[in-house]
Structure 1
Amino acid sequence: MQSPKTTPLNRATFMFPLALVLFEFSVYICNDLVQPAMLAITQEFGVSSTWAPSSMSFFLLGGACVAWLLGPMSDRLGRKKVLLGGVLFFVACCLLILFTTTIESFLVFRFLQGFGLSVIGAVGYAAIQETFEERDAIKVMALMANVSLLAPLLGPVVGAFMIDHVSWHWGFIGIAFLASLSWFGLKAKMPDPHISRPKQPLSYVWDDFKQVYKNKQFLVLSLSIPMICMPLMLWIALSPVILVEQLKLTSMQYGLAQFPVLGGLILGNIVLMKIIDKWALGQTILLGIPLMLIGTLIIFAGLFVPDYFVWALIIGMTCISFAEGISFSVLYRFALMSSEVSKGTVASALSMLMMFAFFIIIEVVRMLYEAYHLPAFSLACLALILMWFSFPRQMLKKVMQQRAEVGQF
């Protein structure tokens, strides 16, 4: 398949990622705004608060289940058509969830809303990587991450406000409105290059996926991404239960506790953008992962000083989030470019691995947390980071060595 020509990053070409990040923000705040409201939602539906993390895990599962289709579809029909259709579907799901009356129907629509994650990961991110040069694409990804991080920063505070003053329904109405605005921006500004796409039978989709999943480098790098992302994902999923229900913080204190943690992620992305042109790609990951290990050890140590556990938890998570900020965009680029198969299919394969891993780990840790509480959360974070120091670290060094041998900085 003919590859689209890359374009320079400037004020005009940046309008496309700006419209995409508005949709990304809508999808992320769809999760971050509803999580602090889940305790009230479970009460409204008359079920246990242990259902609260399932809102996030079903959201992630939805993203995993449809990724296999969206990437190959965008390879054949064009990224723009599939992306615009995905935005409209997400808007519809945000409006239909307003009519749910049971936790089961609520989770069904959370699952369907999760399709938006694959629209971003399998279609939107692939379009960004194809549109811009390597380092410009990483800068755009980091900048998009910073803008989208307004979702987990604002979400808990807005969610806490909704709990105290209005219904959770209004959150989804606002999200549907933002996503609708992004649809108009993408329709106007997203490039739609006319690429020659061979007409192939659908069986080729399966062959492409087999080729991607047989690639050892792709598998190791892709599975290493959840290892560095999951501690923060677990924090977002479980922090309402940890901080409000177990540690007895108020809803507003819970919202404020998110600022240093997610501020660390924003700072990490800013640092990455500043040094990406000066450092060899991958060097920030080698710096970031040991910092994540330090963060998890701080959280674990906090278990032995209960009076200061909240501070240890926040400081440790801030270290982890900063390290994720300087690592994720580069690691994602390495994983996506590790296969020669069309990037929509590769992005789909990557998205499925990530989302299924997120779903499984969140549900397992949720059950462990129900039985063992704070030690389960702390040990889960520590175990995930320790696993990275095995095959993923070896593969990263191998990729960096290969790049150095061919003169890629």
Structure 2
Amino acid sequence: MLALTSIWTTVLLAAAVALGPLATDMYLPALPQIGSEFGTGTDKVQLTLSLYMAGFAIAQLAYGPLADRFGRKPIMICGMILFAIASVGCALATNIETLMACRFLQALGGSAGPVLGRAAIRDIYTPREAAKILAILASMMALAPAVAPTIGGFLVTSFGWSSIFTTLAVYALLMAVVVAIGMPEPMRPEYRQPLKLCNLMRNYRHIATDVTFLGYTLTNALIFSGLFAFLSGSSFVLIDFLEVKPEHFGLYFAGIVVGYVSGNMTAVRLSSKLLPDQILVRGLLVAVAGGVIMAGLAMANVYSPWAVIIPQAIFMAGTGMVLPQTMAGALANFPRMAGSASALFGFAQMAIAAIAGALVGHLHDGTSLVMALVICGSAGLALAAYLLVVQSNPAPGFEPESASAQ
């Protein structure tokens, strides 16, 4: 077994949490082919993404309390096995309706990794330490979206879209075995919560009425919505509209991952000099700049892959600075119910992101304009949430010493 504070435990958690991004990023190059094979439109194909996000959100509400009762490790393993079974169902789907249903089931399993990964980090580290470790974990996880679209494009071109889901099934089963053998249980026995409906509802009510939790969660969910808007629309914009070849899609996608990793690494470097909230607001301003540039170019009818990728890379640099701080801030007040807090946090994140993705799919006009406007709007609303809620209700240890002493 690995030591809880070992870098290899963080690597293992990153690999487990990456299951969620892989399930979206790897099959992005396949969306146009799936629509063509099943004879359906962009809106229905995009629903396979939104339904995945909806299932991802709903399942977290169950995983959090279950993990607070039985521990992080067994629940994570069960989720990975469900993910693998559903992935096989996706690979065997013969119509869009079956694919939608299996994607929903896939999400129910895949959400175990992120919600329990966040909770495990909160189990092991203090809130300020967690912000730094989450940034490192996010940088490790960035390998998934960096290589996943390229791998997906190769699989689509060589073996067809169903091979993507076969690959995901194998990865999930492998991770279940590795977690079972290599990861210790991070939750303290004395922190286990009884699994009773009244207790669950009381815990969720306590978490949901914490203003600090609400502020960080809303900021996170809104900035994540901009990321998901790009995931929802990028394949249609780049492949259908801008005529990027599916096998080259991942190369363009890697550009935004570079931005994201740059943001994560900047957050890690700044963590010794600045407070988490100071890093957070800087990241929000960078994300807003990227959104404004993309929307401005689209409104000016400047259409090229780089008019999308470069502004999105800037947006993602800001996002890479924002996400770790908001995750750590949202969980800071709940060391004894980190699983439930992480679940509610993830539910809000995915639910709001699913709305943004559905907007992109429903309003898509064949250009990059709708996607760009949703990304820009998400960044602006995230900044507003920070200024209106987070700034006056910082997490413990996130505020300046003079403020915490008052």
Please report the TM-score for the alignment, with normalisation by the length of structure 2.
0.91
Measured after TM superposition, the shift of residue 270 of structure 1 is: 1.5
Question: What is aligned with 1:219?
Answer: 214
Structure 2 counterpart of 1:246, one-letter code? F
Residue 271 to residue 402, structure 1, CA distance change in 2 (3 Å): closer
Question: What is aligned with 2:280?
Answer: 285
Residue 406 to residue 184, structure 1, CA distance change in 2 (3 Å): farther
Q: Would the aligned equivalents of 1:264 and 1:318 in 2 still touch at CA under 8 Å? A: yes
Measured after TM superposition, the shift of residue 30 of structure 1 is: 1.7
Q: Deviations over 1:231-270 (max 9, x none)?
A: 2221111111011111222223432211211110011111
Q: Would the aligned equivalents of 1:215 and 1:339 in 2 still touch at CA under 8 Å? A: no
Residue 375 to residue 330, structure 1, CA distance change in 2 (3 Å): same
Structure 1 counterpart of 2:7, one-letter code? F
* Pairing partner for 1:241 from 213, 236, 248: 236
Q: Deviations over 1:124-165 (max 9, x none)?
A: 210111112334433332222222222222122122222222
CA–CA distance in structure 2, aligned partners of residues 338 and 132 of structure 1: 13
CA–CA distance in structure 1, aligned partners of residues 68 and 95 of structure 2: 38
* Pairing partner for 2:371 from 372, 377, 389: 377
Local SS of the residue matching 1:191: coil
CA–CA distance in structure 2, aligned partners of residues 219 and 181 of structure 1: 36
Measured after TM superposition, the shift of residue 120 of structure 1 is: 2.2
* Pairing partner for 2:100 from 99, 107, 132: 107
Question: What is aligned with 2:116?
Answer: 123
Local SS of the residue matching 2:220: helix
1:174 lines up with 2:171 in the alignment: no
* Pairing partner for 2:401 from 390, 400, 404: 404
* Pairing partner for 2:131 from 127, 138, 142: 138
Map 1:324-335 to 2 at 5 A. 324-335=319-330
CA–CA distance in structure 2, aligned partners of residues 214 and 159 of structure 1: 42
Structure 1 runs (4+) deviating above 6 angstroms are: none
1:184 lines up with 2:177 in the alignment: yes
CA–CA distance in structure 2, aligned partners of residues 130 and 340 of structure 1: 7
Residue 36 to residue 86, structure 1, CA distance change in 2 (3 Å): same
How many aligned residue pairs are there? Answer: 398
CA–CA distance in structure 2, aligned partners of residues 332 and 375 of structure 1: 30
Local SS of the residue matching 2:18: helix
Structure 2 counterpart of 1:30, one-letter code? A
CA–CA distance in structure 1, aligned partners of residues 263 and 350 of structure 2: 23
Q: Would the aligned equivalents of 2:153 and 2:248 in 1 still touch at CA under 8 Å? A: no
Structure 2 counterpart of 1:14, one-letter code? I
Measured after TM superposition, the shift of residue 188 of structure 1 is: 2.5
Please report the TM-score for the alignment, with normalisation by the length of structure 1.
0.90
Identical columns (%): 21
Structure 2 counterpart of 1:313, one-letter code? V
1:57 lines up with 2:50 in the alignment: yes
Q: Deviations over 1:256-298 (max 9, x none)?
A: 2112111100111112122212211211111111111211121
Residue 252 to residue 98, structure 1, CA distance change in 2 (3 Å): closer
Question: What is aligned with 2:381?
Answer: 387
Residue 209 to residue 296, structure 1, CA distance change in 2 (3 Å): same
Structure 2 counterpart of 1:377, one-letter code? M
Q: Deviations over 1:286-329 (max 9, x none)?
A: 11111112111211221254355432222211110001111110
Q: Deviations over 1:99-126 (max 9, x none)?
A: 2111011011111111244312322210
1:204 lines up with 2:204 in the alignment: no
CA–CA distance in structure 2, aligned partners of residues 94 and 308 of structure 1: 36
Unaligned 5+ residue runs, structure 1? 1-6
Measured after TM superposition, the shift of residue 209 of structure 1 is: 1.0
Question: What is aligned with 1:3?
Answer: none
Question: What is aligned with 2:317?
Answer: 322
CA–CA distance in structure 2, aligned partners of residues 352 and 34 of structure 1: 23
Question: What is aligned with 2:291?
Answer: 296
Residue 391 to residue 326, structure 1, CA distance change in 2 (3 Å): closer
Local SS of the residue matching 1:398: coil
CA–CA distance in structure 2, aligned partners of residues 198 and 316 of structure 1: 45
CA–CA distance in structure 2, aligned partners of residues 338 and 145 of structure 1: 22
Residue 267 to residue 200, structure 1, CA distance change in 2 (3 Å): closer
Question: What is aligned with 1:195?
Answer: 189
CA–CA distance in structure 2, aligned partners of residues 17 and 172 of structure 1: 26
Q: Would the aligned equivalents of 2:299 and 2:369 in 1 still touch at CA under 8 Å? A: no
Q: Which moved more, 1:276-285 or 1:179-188?
A: 179-188
CA–CA distance in structure 2, aligned partners of residues 176 and 303 of structure 1: 38
1:77 lines up with 2:74 in the alignment: no
* Pairing partner for 1:346 from 335, 341, 346: 341
Local SS of the residue matching 2:276: coil
Question: What is aligned with 1:232?
Answer: 227
Unaligned 5+ residue runs, structure 2? none
Q: Would the aligned equivalents of 2:87 and 2:165 in 1 still touch at CA under 8 Å? A: yes
